[in-house]
Amino acid sequence: MKQLTQKLADGRPEIVETSVPTLEPGQVLVQNYYSVVSSGTEGATVRSARKNMLAKAMERPKDVKAVLELFKRQGAVQTYRAVMKKLDAYSPMGYTSAGKVIDVGTDVTGIAKGDLVACAGVGYASHAEVVAIPANLCVKLHRDADLRAAAYNALGSVALQGVRQADLRIGETCAVIGLGIVGTLICQLLNASGVTTFGIDVSEKVVDKARTLGIDAHLRAQPGLEQEIFAKTSGLGVDAVVIAAGSSSLDPVNFAGRLSRHKGRVVVVGDVPTGFDRAPDYYPKELELRMSCSYGPGRYDLNYEEKGLDYPAAYVRWTENRNMQAFQELAYSGRIDVNALTTHVFSLDDAPKAYNMILTRSEYFLGVLIEYDAAKAVDRAPIRVKTASTTTTAPSRRDKIGYAFLGAGSYAQGSLLPNLPRDPAYEPVGILTRSGVSAKRVAEKFGFKFCASRSEDVLTNPDVDVVFVATRHNIHGQYVLDALKNDKSVFVEKPLCLTLDEYVAIREEYEKKESFPNPPKLMIGFNRRFAPLAVALKSKLTTNVPIAAIYRVNAGSIPGSVWIQDPRIGGGRILGEVCHFIDFVSWLADSMPRSVFAVSIPDPNHFNDTLSIQIRMENDSIATVCYFANGSKALAKERIEVFQAGQSAILDDFRSLRFIGADGKAFRQKGVQNKGQTGMLSAFLNSVKTGKPAPIPSVEIFHNTLATFAVLDSLRLGKEISLF
């Protein structure tokens, strides 16, 4: 399919051929008929992306600070990879569209294949031939709905939420500053609800257009404008002002204060600064300044937008989805004239011209539509990707190990893909990600032959021998199981899975295949075992002698809004990361956990991400894993101390090792931080190529995963959990 994108490095809009996005539970797959270009939001994004690096940095001081902090924690290489990943990525554009449903995911009710729908959401309702939309971000339309008007869905919902925040009654008055698409829609909505409305803008052409729509529109520079509005409001001033303009000036918010009556409301919808002058208006009039959050309640809530959990109407009457429904009914009934906003229609192939027009302002525009070929059949087959590696001479297919990726987020792009061995015996074959544009970018950069939109296109491909699972954690278990069932060796970035049922199914499938000739390998991303300094440390320990170890992790806090903290998606930080450290101390001790006992500091969100775990090993070794989310970021993340038979060792953040023998002699080794990704990946792929056992025995993968589940049981029950 085709999709309009831009790269943040240069801001150049480009039509790219991508795979159809994956359809996940709770989503619908929609073939777009129309989408709307948001000249304000999208124009600003393109304009910013076209600036040079210095200008970009000056515009984003918070991003610069984040880059500097990443450099301090992870060094130049990882920082460079993270920055280039952002700049070189195909960034999807657009966030409001309308079309026809071509497929429906599980857990979706009320929407069926063939329904007409209006869609919203950044990263979802993009300028693309096909989009995957969470159910709460789309609304079902009448069968004879005008899809041109319906495509304004997100912008109409933004306008409607601004009106709701103004909280006006029939007969009251309102001024709307800024008469772009959203401001014009706000005026239409207010007029339709019996509110006397004054539209204000700095452009004479915009004001003239608004007047043709029946709006009492005024030019900002009009002499005596304030006096005229006060005269029309019986000397009171307006009951509310809605600011729908985009400006770096304080004029809109201060002007709003001058137009307001005493005890009036000022609602900010547009992107304007709010550092208003306290006097002479806001303080003496006791004005109320309100923010209007995008489409309405539910926006930016993972539970609402991605997981489909609705708010009860009795308590939250107007969610973002119900705002969309209300806007669509107003448009369908003709009570607002949405089509009158449209000044330009471009085909998808010509869409880059729309952005050039917007940036250069070569002609007047208001509503800019992108039109798609609705008669075009949707092909969900994998797309071939042309890369340099597809034309190089390489061993014949039978001599290669072909690998594919399911998921390719930040960790995969920063730590897995760059560290795969550059050996012609290993061939990148296919890739699937949630977004077709991200798959396309990764495929081009790392030489994959095709991008897929369905997992079966990867899992059943005969050229794929190894599957790397690097998705969000809730999909790990199913993908691992599916890969094993298709006789593929599988590498899964931790954790193995999120539930015991998945654990049992994976273990049974793997053990069933173990007796086969050359069975598939199972590997989990416990990379710290392969870190050079960790290997050096273990080589100095005495075999068959118990150790005592302390593994302190200064993990730092992660907000509850981040997906990893969601029990259903990320599984929490114990399953998602603490498993690493349980495995590491088990490996150091050359023994598997016999029991675990965990205690945590109570927290209101019940994350349990500041905890201490006491582990007893089968060989009588003991280890304490201290995973702390409440420390300073200035402290290095990891420190391991090991004690054994009169000798001690300190491994500091995988940068330095100090070992003191029983004779008191000290050994020191330093280097660039290396957590073992390269060694881990090389060892795993070599085991697939040679048929040798996987570098981490499956019994350890399963047992240490079980020990991690036991940590959760220990916290819940408040007691030591035995694993045997």
Q: Cα–Cα distance between 650 and 721 in angstroms, integer? A: 29
- How many C-beta atoms lie closer than 10 Å to residue 229's C-beta? 19
Task: Judge whether residue 66 has pLDDT over 80.
Answer: no
pLDDT at 515: 82
The radius of gyration of the chain from alpha carbons, rounded to an integer in Å, stands at 29
Q: How confident is the model at residue 546 (pLDDT cuts 50, 70, 90)?
A: very high
Say whether pLDDT at 64 is over 70. no
- Report which of 51, 22, 48, 93 is spatially closest to residue 346, judged by C-alpha positions: 93
User: Do the two domains 155-291 and 400-520 of this chain adopt the same fold?
Assistant: yes
Q: Which neighbouring-strand residues pair with 36?
A: 369
With 0-12 CB in 10 A as exposed, 13-18 as middle and 19+ as buried, what is 144? exposed
User: Do residues 293 and 161 lie in contact, with contact meaning Cβ atoms separated by under 8 Å?
Assistant: yes
Please name the residues in contact with 168: beta carbons below 8 A apart, sequence gap of 6 or more.
174, 190, 193, 195, 239, 240
Sign of the torsion formed by the C-alpha atoms of 434, 437, 443 and 445 = negative
Residues 85, 286 contacting (CB under 8 angstroms): no
Distance, in Å, from the CA atom of 467 to the CA atom of 524, rounded to the nearest integer, reads 12
Domain boundaries defined on the chain: 2-152+338-370, 155-291, 400-520, 527-722
Half-sphere exposure of 28 (CA within 13 A, CB side): 29
CA pair distance 563, 157, nearest whole angstrom: 26
Distant-in-sequence, close-in-space partners of 284: CB < 8 Å, separation ≥ 6: none
Give per-residue pLDDT as tens, 619-642.
999 999 999 999 998 899 999 999
pLDDT of residue 84: 60
- Quote the pLDDT of residue 71: 64
Tell me which of 1.20.1560.10, 1.10.3720.10, 3.30.360.10, 3.40.50.2300 is the CATH number of domain 527-722.
3.30.360.10
pLDDT of residue 87: 64
Task: Kindly report which listed range (6-15, 404-413, 619-628, 683-692) carries the lowest average pLDDT score.
Answer: 6-15
Cα→Cα distances 331→143, 219, 324, 371, Å:
14, 27, 11, 19
Determine the angle formed by the axes of helices 320-333 and 153-166, rounding to 10 degrees.
110
pLDDT for the residue 396: 44
Q: At what angle do helices 579-589 and 698-717 cross, to 10 degrees?
A: 120
- Asked if pLDDT for residue 544 goes beyond 50, the answer is yes
CATH ID of 2-152+338-370, from 3.90.180.10, 3.40.640.10, 3.40.630.30, 3.20.20.100: 3.90.180.10
C-beta atoms surrounding 517 within 10 Å: 5
User: What's the pTM?
Assistant: 0.87
From the candidate CATH numbers 3.30.450.40, 3.40.50.720, 3.40.605.10, 3.30.70.60, the one assigned to the domain spanning 400-520? 3.40.50.720
Q: What is the mean predicted confidence (pLDDT) over 648-677? A: 94
Q: Is the pLDDT of residue 394 over 70?
A: no
Residues 6+ apart with CB under 8 A from 386: none
Mean pLDDT of 288-316: 93
Lowest-pLDDT range of 437-441, 612-616, 617-621, 657-661? 437-441
Q: Which residues, other chains included, contact 171 with Cβ-Cβ below 8 Å and sequence gap of 6+?
A: 194, 195, 196
Residue 387's pLDDT is 63
Cα gap 113→104, rounded to integer Å: 6
pLDDT at residue 77, rounded to an integer: 66
Q: What is the DSSP string of 655-704?
A: TEEEEE-TTS-EEEEE-S---SHHHHHHHHHHHHHH-PPPSS-HHHHHHH
Q: Is the dihedral of CA 462, 466, 472, 476 positive or negative?
A: positive
40 — pLDDT class (breaks 50, 70, 90): confident
Query: Cα separation of 452 and 406, whole Å?
Result: 9
Reported confidence tier of residue 86, pLDDT bands at 50, 70, 90: low
Task: Report yes or no: 476 and 496 within 8 Å, Cβ to Cβ.
Answer: yes
For residues 137-148, give the mean pLDDT. 97
Beta-bridge mates of residue 406: 432, 469
Classify domain 155-291 at the CATH topology level: Rossmann fold (3.40.50)
Place of tokens 């280097």: 671
Q: Is 60 exceeded by the pLDDT of residue 391?
A: no
End-to-end, the C-alpha distance of the chain in Å comes to 53
> How does DSSP classify residue 653?
T
